[in-house]
Amino acid sequence: MAKEVTTVSEEGFSSTNEIRDFESTIDATGEEGPDTLEALLAAYSSCYVPALRVGGQQRDVEELGTIEIDVSGELNDDDKLESISFDIRVEEDVDEEKGQQIVDRAFELCKVHDALKDSLHAETSFEGGAV
């Protein structure tokens, strides 16, 4: 099984992404939509939410209730991500020790977290005059 996305940019730095029956716009300049790093941070935290829920269930917390994550991506001097931090708040009253167990398990479950590893680098082909 594969996940497939088609990305089209007719000019400039904005791209339309076709994902199944959905479309999203990502603009490297941030003028016509989220920029590329904002889109990555949103995908990461959106993947982390269900991982937290499952991690909680696996650590005997059946329901976390509302989950809110403030994500911060610090940039280096080249405007590339240097670090990412999650400030996580959940509705359920969970002590610090149990919360850390849930957080650790969620990182093990989160598919986007796993995809950020160094060994995952896109294999590419390139064809000019094709469009």
Residues 15 and 77 placed together within one structural domain of the fold: no
- Widest pairwise Cα distance in the chain: 59
Going by C-alpha positions, the residue among 22, 106, 14 that lies closest to residue 61 is 106
Instruction: Report yes or no on 78 lying in a domain.
Output: yes
Average pLDDT, the chain: 93
**CA 91 centroid distance within chain:** 22
Q: Which pLDDT tens digit goes with each residue over 30-39?
A: 999 999 999 9
Residues 29 and 65 placed together within one structural domain of the fold: no
Residues 46 and 108 placed together within one structural domain of the fold: yes
Is there a contact between 103 and 88 (Cβ–Cβ < 8 Å)? yes
Residues 41 and 28 placed together within one structural domain of the fold: no
CA dist., res. 103 & res. 2, Å (int): 28
Mean pLDDT of the region 112-118: 89
The DSSP secondary-structure symbol of 66 reads S
Task: Tell me the pTM.
Answer: 0.89
**For residue 99, which phi and psi values (nearest 5 degrees)?**
-60, -40
Residues 74 and 85 placed together within one structural domain of the fold: yes
Structural domain including 85 reads 35-115
Residues 65 and 111 placed together within one structural domain of the fold: yes
Instruction: Report yes or no on 29 lying in a domain.
Output: yes
